Amino acid sequence: MKLWGGRFTKEENQLVHNFNESLSFDQKFYHQDIQGSIAHVTMLAKQGIVTEEDRKAIIDGLNSILADLESGKLAFTKEHEDIHSFVEANLIERIGDAGKRLHTGRSRNDQVALDMKLYCRDEIGEIDELVKNLLKELLTIMENNLDTYMPGFTHLQKAQPVTLAHHIGAYYEMFYRDRGRLHDIYERMNYCPLGSGALAGTTYPLDRAYTAKLLGFYGPTLNSMDSVSDRDYVIELLSALSTIAMHLSRFSEEVIIWNTNEYRFVEIDDAYSTGSSIMPQKKNPDIAELVRGKTGRVYGALMSILTMMKGIPLAYDKDMQEDKELTFDAIDTVKGCLALFTGMVATMTFNKEVMEASAKNGFTNATDAADYLVNHGVPFRDAHGIVGQLVLFCIDKGIALDDMTLEEFQAISPVFEEDVYEAISMKTCVEKRMTIGAPGQEAMKTVIEIYKGQLEK
Ligand code: ARG
């Protein structure tokens, strides 16, 4: 019989059961459900609402359910509607009448709100740890590549020289902000909904602050109707996950481009590549492509839940059961992407010579050649025009600016002297950019120290 079977005269239609049930997916937070129940009954006993004896029986029963689920001795059986019903029915089976007192002063509405919050909170910790691991990996690459010159791009056209450390640093910033977002969500969500009952609180003298404290929350939520129907934290988490996925996808896109035969900036390790069933020469960047591709389903979860929530009248409505599968999937997807992407980046080889040659061949030092003229008294607009002529000349001859003879330089502008070569060398171009945030080594070293401090926090 159902938990709520009392006022019903007919058995539930099987199709209705199948459509309505959530056990097939909310079993994922059995641990949190039991954790919440233990806190609840601890509070009930402290308040004299259940006896010490019942409290002990209930907690022992819940712990034995947990142990049996974990060892595989106990399986989730289909006839139960959701994880809450499953655990309660099982408890009653194990300890009898005492088990029937667990749900005093509680509704599945505040229970599921709690479980989902606990689950998201736990997962935020794990996701944060994965992002942190990625940041550590990026930091290592940065430290090893302070003078690995490469072209910086705009419009995917070579623009100005940077270093690999600087380029990777841009991703460091993105993922660091992602950690900040996770932290903010945690701070905002960490209030306990338990004790809100179905929607209007309960008539029992619950100590909500105590339950909140037992479960590691900052305190109880302050409006019972909001508590049972708030899924903002789910939406915020999905939004943060979407942003992480977007960052991973951008990075993947670059890795895929860099790994092409045309670029050859990187080589993805064999362990993180796959082959073709027909073309023997192929080594494909499948992991990066999958990470890029999976971004869609994470965005999809965010859009679905935003849409699902937009018509929910206060307080609890069953629509909200739809938050789970999508959120679980998005969390698992992003965790998988983070782990795989980190492994791929950590094992990737950077072809430093190719990168540097690419920066040289793409006139990335043209701005610096113009700056050279400016430093010799030529107005910038004229300098821009002169260097434009140099570039045209080089394109025609198929050479880089650095390959021009001094005579060729001077034929276009007599201002050029022997020291132009030094001024437009890759090293000078990068190292002169030493304001904070720029690729020059000194600037980068300062920034890396700051990053290290952040990671240790
Ligand atoms: N499985 C439900 C959910 O995920 C639990 C809450 C059920 N509450 C109810 N009044 N039917 O939302």
Each residue's pLDDT tens digit, 412-427: 999 999 999 999 999 9
Amino acid identity, residue 15? L
In CATH, the architecture of 109-145+163-355 is Up-down Bundle (1.20)
Q: How far is the CA of 295 from the centre of ligand 1 (A)?
A: 29
Q: How far is the CA of 83 from the centre of ligand 1 (A)?
A: 10
pLDDT > 80? residue 5: no
pLDDT class of 58 with cuts at 50, 70, 90: very high
CA 129 to CA 168: how far, in whole Å? 19
pTM: 0.94
pLDDT class of 274 with cuts at 50, 70, 90: confident
Q: Do 167 and 378 form a contact (C-beta atoms < 8 A)?
A: no
Task: For residue 328, give Cα distances in angstroms to 116, 147, 336.
Answer: 10, 42, 12
pLDDT class of 223 with cuts at 50, 70, 90: very high
Q: Which atom of ligand 1 is nearest to the CA of 198?
A: 10
Q: Do 193 and 110 form a contact (C-beta atoms < 8 A)?
A: yes
Query: What pLDDT sits at residue 395?
Result: 95
CA 305 to CA 327: how far, in whole Å? 9
- The structure tokens listed for 291 are 């990470």
Taking only the tens place, the pLDDT of each residue in 316-358 is 999 999 999 999 999 999 999 999 999 999 999 999 999 999 9
Q: How far is the CA of 60 from the centre of ligand 1 (A)?
A: 25
Q: Do 382 and 363 form a contact (C-beta atoms < 8 A)?
A: no
Pocket of ligand 1 contains residue 112 by CB under 6 Å: yes
Q: How far is the CA of 319 from the centre of ligand 1 (A)?
A: 9
Amino acid identity, residue 46? K
Amino acid identity, residue 108? R
Determine the average pLDDT of the residues in 54-80.
96
For residue 240, what is the enclosing H or E element? Answer: helix 232-258
Using DSSP's 3-state secondary structure scheme, residue 154 falls into strand
pLDDT class of 170 with cuts at 50, 70, 90: very high
Testing ligand 1's pocket by substitution, the residue of 22, 199, 318, 327 carrying the most ligand atoms inside 8 A of its CB is 318
Pocket of ligand 1 contains residue 109 by CB under 6 Å: yes
CA 425 to CA 21: how far, in whole Å? 68
Pocket of ligand 1 contains residue 321 by CB under 6 Å: yes
pLDDT > 80? residue 276: no
Q: Whose CA is nearest to atom 12 of ligand 1?
A: 321
Query: What pLDDT sits at residue 275?
Result: 80
Pocket of ligand 1 contains residue 35 by CB under 6 Å: no
- The structure tokens listed for 148 are 């690995």
Amino acid identity, residue 127? I
Pocket of ligand 1 contains residue 22 by CB under 6 Å: yes
Query: What pLDDT sits at residue 1?
Result: 63
- Measured in degrees and rounded to the nearest 5, phi and psi for residue 172 equal -55, -45
Q: Which atom of ligand 1 is nearest to the CA of 318?
A: 12
pLDDT > 80? residue 231: yes
What number does CATH give the domain 357-456? 1.10.40.30
CA 240 to CA 368: how far, in whole Å? 39
DSSP-H helix ranges across 145-231: 164-189, 208-214, 224-229
Task: For residue 224, give Cα distances in angstroms to 68, 119, 204, 242, 386.
Answer: 34, 20, 14, 30, 71
Q: How far is the CA of 19 from the centre of ligand 1 (A)?
A: 13
Question: Which of 245, 237, 239 has the alpha carbon at shortest distance from 336?
Answer: 245
CA 304 to CA 113: how far, in whole Å? 19
∠ at Cα 12 (10, 13), nearest 5°?
A: 115
DSSP strand pairing (349-350 vs 266-267): antiparallel
Task: Give the dihedral sign, CA 56/60/62/63.
Answer: positive
Query: What pLDDT sits at residue 2?
Result: 74
pLDDT class of 258 with cuts at 50, 70, 90: very high
Testing ligand 1's pocket by substitution, the residue of 2, 3, 22 carrying the most ligand atoms inside 8 A of its CB is 22
Q: What percent of the chain clears pLDDT 70, i.e. is strictly above it?
A: 100
Q: Do 350 and 390 form a contact (C-beta atoms < 8 A)?
A: no
∠ at Cα 33 (1, 245), nearest 5°?
A: 120
- Look up residue 152 and give its DSSP letter: E
- Measured in degrees and rounded to the nearest 5, phi and psi for residue 63 equal -65, -35
Q: How far is the CA of 77 from the centre of ligand 1 (A)?
A: 18
pLDDT > 80? residue 278: no
- The structure tokens listed for 388 are 């434009």
Q: Whose CA is nearest to atom 3 of ligand 1?
A: 321
Domain spans, the chain: 5-104, 109-145+163-355, 357-456
DSSP strand pairing (219-220 vs 191-192): parallel
What number does CATH give the domain 5-104? 1.10.275.10
Pocket of ligand 1 contains residue 108 by CB under 6 Å: yes
Task: Give the dihedral sign, CA 200/206/208/212.
Answer: negative
Q: Whose CA is nearest to atom 7 of ligand 1?
A: 108
Determine the average pLDDT of the residues in 403-413.
96
pLDDT > 80? residue 311: yes
- Measured in degrees and rounded to the nearest 5, phi and psi for residue 284 equal -100, 145
pLDDT > 80? residue 3: no
Testing ligand 1's pocket by substitution, the residue of 321, 323, 326 carrying the most ligand atoms inside 8 A of its CB is 321
Q: How far is the CA of 34 from the centre of ligand 1 (A)?
A: 16
CA 154 to CA 162: how far, in whole Å? 12
Chain mean pLDDT for the chain: 95
Partners of 160 in the β-ladder? 152
Taking only the tens place, the pLDDT of each residue in 18-46 is 999 999 999 999 999 999 999 999 999 99
Task: For residue 441, give Cα distances in angstroms to 121, 369, 421.
Answer: 39, 21, 20
Same topology for domains 5-104 and 357-456, yes or no? no
Return the active site residues.
Answer: 155, 276
